[in-house]
Amino acid sequence: MKRDVIIQARLGSVRLPKKVLFPLEGQTILAHVIKRALRIPGVNDVCVAIPDDPAQQPIADEAERAGAVVFKGSEDDVLGRYYFAAKELKSDVVTRITADCPLFDPTTSGAIIALLDHTGADYACNNMPLTWPHGTETETFTFEALKTCQDRAQTAFEREHVTVLMRYDEDVHRVNLLSDTPSWINLRWTLDYPEDYTFLKEVFQLAGPNGPASLEETTALLAKHPEITAINAHHGHYEAEEPEVTGYRVVATAPFQFEQV
């Protein structure tokens, strides 16, 4: 079974244009994301899916330098971009990560992939509800579930937001990975605002050129430096009303084992 990561990326951003190419301790945001994705247990290929536009070539060049393959597709039809990227990769399972989260945790992402396998679900995530730091969200789904969305999605909203049908369709078997520390939801590790970039620069400056190696290292560092967490805490995070999903927790690793909550 082939398990791949697809990272969507583009240079356009209303708040922070070209943010995925912002530097962090000698590497770009995108390079940090790719290198973390390559560390996810059980993953085969890491692909960066970008709009098919010459203006996006700097992303393609950076992605290849960091060790990812590049797929070019529709800018607005992000669902289609994912589907055709996965089809070209011959993916059986796809893990979706965004390019503006350089502190996501590879072990947590690996646990979500393992949870999909363990439960036989169509879709697994860690944000229904989110009990992890904002910026560590991971979604994993089967190629069959992605193809169903590709065939059924009609509205612009459904085409832009890749997994919306997986998250709301009552026929989809969904599972959610819960953390043991619900207060982590108050931590913000993503990049949308200038304050987020200031926060990330402070974290990486303290942790070193590759950043903290794990979620535990990041939370430990921030516990010693609460002033860093305060930099962007006022932005919070958006949480939509979601269907009820069966939750699981990790009880062992290597191999992963789970208990239903």
Give the C-alpha distances (Å, rounded to integers) separating 250 from 200, 242, 243, 255: 28, 22, 22, 10
What's the chain's Rg over C-alpha atoms?
A: 17
Res. 71: pLDDT tops 70: yes
- pLDDT for 13 equals 77
CATH number given to 3-260: 3.90.550.10
Taking only the tens place, the pLDDT of each residue in 72-128 is: 999 999 999 999 999 999 999 999 999 999 999 999 999 999 999 999 999 999 999
- pLDDT for 105 equals 98
Angle at 103 between CA 246 and CA 22, to 5 degrees: 135
**Region 10-23 average pLDDT:** 91
pTM of the model: 0.96
- pLDDT for 15 equals 81
Using pLDDT thresholds of 50, 70 and 90, give the confidence band for residue 5: very high
- pLDDT for 243 equals 85
3-state secondary structure the chain: CCEEEEEECCCCCCCCCCHHHCEECCEEHHHHHHHHHCCCCCCCCEEEEEECCHHHHHHHHHHHHCCCEEEEECCCCHHHHHHHHHHHHCCCEEEEEECCCCCCCHHHHHHHHHHHHHHCCCEEECECCECCCECCCCEEEEHHHHHHHHHHCCCHHHHHCCCHHHHHCCCCCEEEECCCCHHHHHCECCCCCHHHHHHHHHHHHHHCCCCCCCHHHHHHHHHHCHHHHCCCHHHCCCCCCCCCCEEEEEEECCCCEEEEC
Taking only the tens place, the pLDDT of each residue in 235-259 is: 977 666 788 899 999 999 989 999 9
Q: In whole angstroms, what is the distance from residue 96 CA to residue 114 CA?
A: 14
